[in-house]
Amino acid sequence: MANGYKEKKMTAVDAAHTGQVTGAEHWTHKGGVRLFLWEKFLGTPAGKPAVLVVHGSSMASQPTFDLTVPGRPESSVMDWFARRGFVCWCVDMEGYGRSDKKRDITCDIANGADDLAAATDYIIKTRGVEQFLTYGISSGALRAALFAQRHPGRVARLALDAFVWTGAGSPTLAQRRKKLPEFLRAKRRPIDRAFVHSIFERDHPDCAEPQVVDAFADAILALDDSMPNGTYIDMCSKLPVVDPAKITMPTVVLRGQFDGIAGMDDLIEFFKRLPNPDKQFTVMPGISHASFQQKNYLLVYDILHAFFSRRAPAYAPEPIHLGS
């Protein structure tokens, strides 16, 4: 199928923000690689601020950002933002979900940044979007940060959730490094329901409800039974892969209270080096990893909405350079 999209209507039920949310399926190419994109909006997408959300190492984009859980309203962050006047986009990285898996590569973080460049090329061409409010989680935060570093003009504001810079102080990465030789021997690793549950059990199991984890696992496993090893290899052996001094747009760093991936001191050192004074560091209470699947998921939505909706400063002085 060539570049293009087809639309599917979805009914949104929300007393405060009612309306019919549209889901639009898109496809584009990165060279010979076919990439799947998914768009959500209310009414028409024209003229609305665009949110681009970037998934992590062990799941495709729709299970992460457009999840449906019976009895749990607003499990889809894409619908939630669509009802508040945004148009929301996600993309399956190469090797994940509906995107191509045909190349014998590990699909590392740099390759994911290439995917985001190709996806935004398509969105800019077809929708006329100039800049994106960009959110990434875990290795998706690394992909988003590297994309922002390479294409600063395309990122209006950047949100990095469950991010790592050097990996220092991360107990999860310390345990994962023990399996690095295993990751290096294969391009992909198998996943199953037990693996998905382990994401929520390793830090603070009470942060997520079992039915949400089950629904998340169902959605992930409906698309994939294995995942690329590239982001695991990068996070275990190649950090840092981004330079905070080159991330020039307003940035928020989000850290779950119990997240074993994101070392607090590591994140603070990264945050200190961000050059834009419009920056924010937020610790999210009662959250471990995979923040949109936690009990406090609506708190995360509120934090992001406030940051993405923040008005530009009326006064932005030039930095003062002190003499030696």
**What is the b/e burial string over 224-233, where b = at least 16 CB atoms within 10 angstroms of the residue's CB?**
beebbbbbbb
In the block, residue with structure tokens 């350079």? 321
Please name every residue paired with 254 in a beta bridge, in sequence order, or none if there are none.
161, 282
Q: Give the per-residue pLDDT at 19.
A: 78
Output the tens digit of pLDDT for each of the chain's 324 residues: 344 444 445 443 444 466 789 999 999 999 999 999 999 999 999 999 999 999 999 999 999 999 999 999 999 999 999 999 999 999 999 999 999 999 999 999 999 999 999 999 999 999 999 999 999 999 999 999 999 999 999 999 999 999 999 999 999 999 999 999 999 999 999 999 999 999 999 999 999 999 999 999 999 999 999 999 999 999 999 999 999 999 999 999 999 999 999 999 999 999 999 999 999 999 999 999 999 999 999 999 999 999 999 998 899 887 766 654
Q: Cα separation of 274 and 270, whole Å?
A: 7
Q: Which residues contact 178 (CB under 8 A, 6 or more apart)?
A: none
**What is d(CA 58, CA 39) in angstroms, rounded to the nearest whole number?**
21
CATH class of 4-280+295-308: alpha beta
Query: What are the start-end ranges of the H helices in the chain?
Result: 61-65, 77-82, 109-127, 139-150, 171-177, 180-184, 193-201, 210-221, 230-237, 264-273, 297-308
Residue 94 identity? E
Contact, 261 vs 173, CB < 8 A?
Answer: yes
Q: How far apart are CA 136 and CA 53, in angstroms?
A: 6
Q: Enter the pTM of the model.
A: 0.93
**Residue from 22, 21, 25, 23 nearest 4 by CA:** 25
pLDDT of residue 318: 79
Note the pLDDT of residue 311: 92
**Cβ 142 vs Cβ 115: under 8 Å:** no
pLDDT digits (tens, 9 = 90+) for 179-234: 999 999 999 999 999 999 999 999 999 999 999 999 999 999 999 999 999 999 99
Q: What is the pLDDT of residue 281?
A: 98
What is the maximum alpha-carbon separation in the chain?
A: 62
Residue 79 to residue 12: CA distance in whole angstroms: 8
Domain ranges of the chain: 4-280+295-308
Q: Give residue 20's pLDDT.
A: 87
pLDDT tens figures, 72-99: 999 999 999 999 999 999 999 999 999 9
Residue of 38, 78, 5 lying closest to 304 (CA atoms)? 78
Specify the pLDDT at position 14.
41
Q: What is the pLDDT of residue 2?
A: 43
- Of the candidates 81, 68, 99, 208, which has an alpha carbon nearest to the alpha carbon of residue 135? 81
Q: What is the rounded distance in angstroms from the CA atom of residue 98 to the CA atom of residue 33?
A: 11
C-alpha–C-alpha distance, residues 254 and 265, integer Å? 13
